Chain A
Amino acid sequence: MNQYTSQILDYAQNPPNYGQIENCNFKVNASNPSCGDSLTIYLNVKNGQITDAKFWGKGCAISRASASMLLESLIGKNLNEINKLNKKNVLDLLQIQISPSREKCAYLILNALDNIPKR
Chain B
Amino acid sequence: MNIKKIKSDFPILTQKINGKDLVYLDNSATSQKPESVIDSINNYYTTYNANVHRGIHTLSEKATEKYEEARKKVADFINAKSQKEVIFTKGATESLNFLANSLGKNLNKNDEIILTEMEHHSNIVPWQFVAKEKGIIIKYIEINPDGTLNISNLENLVNEKTKIISLTHVSNVLGTVNPVEKIIKRAKLVNPNVIAIVDVAQSVPHIKVNVQKLQADFIAFSSHKMLGPTGVGVMWGKYKLLEKLHPFLGGGSMIASVTKKTTLFAEIPERFEAGTPNIAGVIGFGVAIDYINQIGVDNIYKHEQELTSYAIDKLTKLDYVDIYGPKNRAGIISFNVKAVHSHDVSAVLDNYGIAVRSGHHCADILHNKLNINSTVRASFYLYNTKEDVDKLVMGLGKVKKIFK
Contact = CB atoms under 8 A, between A and B. Distances in A.
Nearest to A33: B364
A4 B402 contact: yes
B342 to A, nearest CB: 8
Contact of A35 (B351, B374, B403): B374
Q: Which of A4, A60, A61, A105 has the most CB of B within 10 A?
A: A60
A116 B91 CA distance: 42
B214 to A, nearest CB: 32
A62 B340 CA distance: 11
A48 B364 CA distance: 41
A2 B374 CA distance: 23
A61 B341 contact: yes
Interface string A46-64: 0000000000001111100
B238 interface: no
Interface in A65-119: 102, 105
Contact of B359 (A1, A9, A34, A62): A34
A36 B374 contact: yes
A13 B340 CA distance: 9
A3 interface: yes
Interface in B314-352: 340-344, 347-348, 351
Contacts, number: 41
B7 interface: no
Nearest to B367: A36
A55 B348 CA distance: 25
A60 B367 CA distance: 17
A58 B351 contact: no
Nearest to B368: A36
Given A1-B18, A9-B403, A35 B348 contact: no
B348 A36 contact: no
Contacts of A13: 403
Contacts of B351: 1-2
B403 A60 contact: no
Interface string A31-47: 00111110000000000
Contacts of B402: 4, 9
Interface string B346-388: 0110010000000110001001000001100000000000000
Contacts of B373: 36, 58
B352 to A, nearest CB: 11
A4 B373 CA distance: 21
Interface string B15-59: 000100000000000000000000000000000000000000000
Q: Which of A2, A9, A13, A36 has the most CB of B within 10 A?
A: A36
Contacts of B344: 4, 60-62
A102 B374 contact: no
A102 B341 contact: no
B74 to A, nearest CB: 32
A60 B343 contact: yes
Interface string B380-404: 0000000000000000000000110
B347 A3 contact: yes
A45 B236 CA distance: 62
Contacts of A105: 343
A34 B342 CA distance: 12
B113 to A, nearest CB: 24
A41 to B, nearest CB: 19
B360 A102 contact: no
A102 B347 contact: yes
Given A1-B351, A35-B374, 10 more contacts: A2-B351, A13-B403, A34-B359, A35-B341, A35-B359, A36-B374, A60-B341, A61-B340, A62-B343, A102-B343
24 contacts: A1-B351, A2-B351, A3-B347, A4-B344, A4-B347, A4-B348, A4-B402, A9-B403, A13-B403, A33-B364, A34-B359, A35-B374, A36-B360, A36-B367, A36-B373, A36-B374, A58-B373, A60-B343, A60-B344, A61-B341, A61-B344, A62-B343, A102-B343, A105-B343
8 smallest A-B Cβ distances: which pairs? Answer: A60-B341, A36-B373, A36-B374, A60-B343, A61-B344, A60-B344, A4-B402, A58-B373
